[in-house]
Amino acid sequence: MNDRHIDVVIEPTRDHYEDIQLFTARGSWIKLALLLVVLVSLPLLLPGYRVFTLNYMAVFVIVGLGMNVLVGYTGQVSLGHAGFLAIGAYTMVLLMTRLAVPFPIALVMAGCVSAFFGFLLGLPALRLAGPYLAIATLGFGLAVTQIIGHSALFGGHMGLVVPDAMVGPFPLSGDVSKYYVIVGITFVLALGVRNLSVTRVGRAFRAIRDSEIAAATMGVDVAYYKTLSFAVSAALTGVAGGLLALMTGFISPGVFTFTLSLMFLAMVVFGGLSSITGAVLGSIVMGYLNLEMDAFQELPVLGPALEGFSARFMSTVGLPNFGWVVTGMLIVFTILLEPRGLYGLWIRALDTMKYSKSADAELSRSGSGAD
Amino acid sequence: MSFFAVDGLTMRFGGLTALDDVSFEVDQGMIFSIIGPNGSGKSTAFNCISGIYQPTAGKIYFEGEGISGLAPHHIARLGIARTFQNIELFSTETTIDNLMLGRHQHMHSGVWSGVAMLGRATSAAREETENRERVQWIIELLDLVQVRDRPVGELPYGTQKRVELARALAMEPKLLLVDEPSAGMNADERAEVAERMRELRAELGVTILLIEHHVQLAIGLADRVLALNFGKPIAQGAPEEIRQHPEVIKAYLGDG
Amino acid sequence: MLPQVLASGLSAGSIYALMALALVITYKTTEVPNFAQGDMAMVSAFIAYMFLTDFETGFIFAFGAALVFAFLLGVGFEVLLLRRMRKPTHLNLIIMTLGFTLALFGFAGWKWGADQRQFPFPVSANEVIRFGSVSISTLSVATILIAGILMLLVFAFFRFTKLGVAMQATQQDPIAARINGVPARAVVGLTFGISSVIGTVAALLTAPLITLDPTLMWDALLKGFAAAVLGGLNTPVGAVLGGYLLGVIENLFGAYISVEFKSVVAFLIIVIVLWFRPSGLFGRHHERKV
Ligand SMILES: Nc1ncnc2c1ncn2[C@@H]1O[C@H](COP(=O)(O)OP(=O)(O)O)[C@@H](O)[C@H]1O
Ligand SMILES: [Mg+2]
């Protein structure tokens, strides 16, 4: 095509950077500042043991970001992400114990090694789709824990104790100091994924999800971007694994189960596929449910009622399993009623609000017109 | 050597021969129409050219190079763009994002520069901004300003067809393959499509390979026409020859 | 040693084959890979257990009740949940079955706890019959026979009964089937019922071998999937063959190479097979038309 463009009236003042800018309006800076204030002050306001819960939820959020890249953007299924979490956790711990690598470098390496395995797992994804891919990734997740559980290097079924971590001269001893590291990293990674999603690579990922054939005819190397997506997703999950090791102080293959992989997949769907806000929300809720399975018993009125019901019809020892029922039901009803998940609900709420607001404005205008 | 040539192209699906020894040549700047009743193998020819199907036999040449056997994304990078008969848009994406995918091959940002897009001056941001500016005229040309930021899945059919054409143009192709641009349209809209094709060729100098079910439109626009029936080439030549060609008339009478 | 290993492989393979068959008949009809298959069967096995221990009924009554429950659970899952989805994409369907399985798993744990329970059964895993050099438990013999007979019945049902033929027609071409007066919706529900019953038979045969707890069918489900994928998700016969093949290979690997990594080998095979044949050993691949 030559450079002679057809004469058209060009909109004079469009600033194209606004399309992709991180914080567009003045209002979003205020929201960001608010969010930061909340994040910084949360551990100071909550009782100590809650900070552990926050850390756990933040780790889930990072996994959620990774799942969002793979499932939400690229449209590939994974039932094996607990495997990447394990790879990240073990890489970091082994580097720290065996080679005395400092924590920050070990954490980066955790992401890199996990990314490498993500790339390897991405290779079958080039030829497989839907249920076939699901099974292959599932097998991967199981294989990782099996291998870890049976090798002395990884501490076998007994697991490994995580050494004390330092960031420069500062030791990360308590939950609160770990909180600032973990949440800081989570925040930065979320911004990074958001940027990725609005630029060339993120767009190519989503193109593959919507139509592989059209993506290829646009010049997108589908094979390359599929494996890249697996690698990016695995890298994020590997970093999450390292941070999980940091916060719990102990890792064993029993942590990285198939159910955990299910949870990871479920939480991005529950939050809303292909939306970062959704992934974050879904991960927070599911992370909380996953850790605090018995939280329902502690609820003020419902707790005793639930206990009474359990004693009568179900069983009291089994009550902690109620959390699974709730998790499962949440997923089922999300898919049934609002396939876009929590994010979809949020959008709907906003739409309703906007609608009623503009209707209000409409009313008042017509009211004044009648004067 | 001609600009674009197909030599002995044959495509079989199991027992069905969708294309049977088809050959033609296209000169630069031409509008070349392929006509034929439904199921005569027109779309299959496009799929072979754009690398989606691997032809059973035959060769395809573009600017003197053999391109058959190349992967679709390689062919796209050589400067061949296309639209699809049954729209293949990225339906959850906005119009502008669909067009930006057309820019994919002209851009370079990778994972790192994308992640690190922290301000107007960073390389990924500059590249994004430049390319968005660059496709703005296409958006205006094809009358998509109103729907620039709407997800294309929710647009009406005719608009989606325009978005798809716009996306192909955003690739700045040398050769544009257009599959049934007027499918499902009424006479007025068809006239508009014809006008647009002429305009594109005249203003941009892009070579157009056009599939049209609507014979009058296809022949009216074309510099040269190929007629297929059951995968076989039954006639080829200047528009007025094709209009009177007995085989062509028979094929269409038989069809309808 | 080899015949012994083959016998164990056949017995394990029978369970995998049943699960694979259960998965494939629903997959063929609706393209849903049903991850809840295992836990539906597990809950049904608990129903049998409840009848046996709490109500002290006989085996026939308890197992019959479990199968009826399984049928209703399968039909209910399809009619009340799957069918009512707003956006039944592949991914959403997978997630729906995952959510349902988590809920069932939680329900079983809530109701029956995580204790490993001894499951009463007419024949025992410890009583051994000898065939020449091969010794095999009466439970394994029962498993091989029952699974074999059930699968033959299922295939006969699809081939020779009017209903079965109608169901197959729906699988192949729902629209044409509807035109010919097959009530497609009812057939889909029925398919889930039958599939759930097949899975439950597998669960009733697994429970006496290991113990009964909410994780009863995890391994069987995963291996059933592996077998189905190995054989081809679209071919019931292929999936059943895949099940037996997997059981035998797994036991060969365990006997001659490594017991520890026995359960990984299944997935290694899958990945290798899929690499060369993306639709399984016996499946057919479909290209998308554009
Ligand atoms: N991927 C495919 N697999 C099997 N048959 C195909 C495939 N693509 C096209 N065909 C068959 O090839 C023939 C030509 O189709 P097509 O090229 O779409 O025709 P047209 O575009 O001229 O209407 C048809 O009979 C069609 O069914
Ligand atoms: Mg066509």
What average pLDDT does this structure show over B87-108?
Answer: 94
Q: Compute the distance between CA of residue C188 and CA of residue C171 in angstroms, rounded to an integer.
A: 9
Residue nearest to atom 20 of ligand 1 (CA): B39
The residues facing B82 across adjacent strands are B177
B41 lines ligand 1 (CB under 6 A): yes
**So what's the pLDDT on residue B169?**
95
pLDDT confidence of residue A12: 53
Ligand 1 atom nearest residue B14's Cα: 4
Q: Tell me the pLDDT of chain C averaged across its residues.
A: 87
Across the interface, whether the CB atoms of A228 and B113 are under 8 A apart is answered no
**C1 pLDDT exceeds 80?**
no
Reading the block at residue A279, the tokens are 């992934």
CA distance A186 to chain C (A): 26
pLDDT recorded at residue B146: 93
Neighbours, chain A (3 or more CB pairs < 8 A): B, C
First to last CA, chain A: 60
* pLDDT above 70: percentage of residues in chain A: 90
- C-interface mutation test, from A332, A333, A338, A340, most C Cβ less than 10 A away: A332
pLDDT tens track for B13-22: 988 999 999 9
pLDDT of residue A361: 55
Distance B41 CA to ligand 1 centre (A): 6
What dihedral angle (degrees, nearest 10) is formed by the CA atoms of B218, B223, B229, B235? 140
> Which residue owns the Cα nearest ligand 1 atom 3?
B13
pLDDT higher than 80, residue B83: yes
* pLDDT at residue B105 in the model: 94
Does residue B197 have its Cβ closer than 6 Å to ligand 1? no
Residue nearest to atom 11 of ligand 1 (CA): B18
Pocket test of ligand 1: the residue of B10, B13, B177, B178 to mutate, having most ligand atoms within 8 Å of its CB, is B13
Q: Please indicate whether residue B44, judged by its CB atom, sits closer than 6 Å to ligand 1.
A: yes
Ligand 1 mutation pick, B9, B38, B43, max ligand atoms within 8 A of CB: B43
pLDDT in the model for residue A303: 81
pLDDT tens string C11-52:
999 999 999 999 999 998 888 889 999 999 999 999 999 999
| Each residue's pLDDT tens digit, A158-212 | 889 999 888 888 888 888 899 999 999 999 999 999 999 999 999 999 999 999 9
Distance CA C214, CA B14 (A): 48
Domain boundaries, chain A: 43-157+174-298
Distance CA A343, CA C189 (A): 32
Give ipTM to 2 decimals: 0.92
pLDDT for the residue A370: 34
Confidence grade of residue A366 (pLDDT, cut at 50, 70, 90): very low
Per-residue pLDDT of B62-75, as tens digits, reads: 999 999 989 999 99
Q: What is the B50 CA–ligand 2 centroid distance (Å)?
A: 14
Which range (A12-16, B118-122, B168-172) has the least confidence? A12-16
The one-letter amino acid at C73: L
Domains of chain B: 1-79+173-194+201-256 (3.40.50.300), 94-170 (no CATH)
C290 contact residues in B (CB cutoff 8 A): 43, 47, 52, 84-86, 88
Domains in chain C (CATH in brackets) are 2-276 (1.10.3470)
pLDDT for the residue C184:
75
B49: Cβ below 6 Å to ligand 1?
Answer: no
CA of C290 vs chain B CAs: smallest distance (Å): 7
Q: Which distant-in-sequence residues (6+ apart) come within 8 Å of A244 by Cβ? A: A56, A59, A85, A88, A89, A251, A255
Amino acid type, A211: S
Mean pLDDT (whole number) for A138-165: 88
Q: Does B43 touch chain C (CB under 8 A)?
A: yes
Would you give the end-to-end CA distance of chain B in angstroms?
Answer: 39
* Maximum average pLDDT range among A123-137, A317-331, B223-237: B223-237
| Mean pLDDT, range B202-213, rounded to an integer | 91
Instruction: Write down how long chain A is.
Output: 371
Q: What is the mean pLDDT of residues A130-136?
A: 79
pLDDT at C93: 87
Identify the sign of the CA torsion C99, C100, C106, C109: negative
Q: Are B76 and A10 inside 8 Å of each other by CB?
A: no
Contacts of C266 in chain A (CB under 8 A): 139
The CA distance from A4 to the nearest CA of chain C, in Å, is: 33
> Which of B162-176, B184-198, C148-162 has the largest mean confidence?
B162-176
User: Helix A322-337 to helix C90-112 angle, to the nearest 10 degrees?
Assistant: 150
